[in-house]
Amino acid sequence: MFLILKYGMGKYIVEIKKNTKKEKILCYEFDEENFEDIIKVINSFKNDIRYELIYKPYSISEEDIINVFLSSENISEKMKNKIKLYFNIEGD
């Protein structure tokens, strides 16, 4: 899987895809079945996005990035629960 930052329709979009396209700004490959890999990608993405968007009037928070994982159909419920526990997110 890939965690992607791209620009579209006047805003930045963060999404998870099975494959990647050339119009991305940042792209991180990860194993959706490996919890440590997911945490590493979230933290790397969060740190790198700060520098990518530093001079732009946009902001993407850690919560936004985590929500992409929690709402993705490509991430198992077991992994979503682990992510919620790790980041101390109360869920439904």
> Rounded distance, CA 24 to CA 79, Å?
25
Mean pLDDT of the chain: 84
Whole-model pTM: value is 0.78
Residue 19: the pLDDT is 74
Distances (CA, A) of 68 to 23, 33, 55: 19, 16, 23
**pLDDT confidence of residue 22:** 61
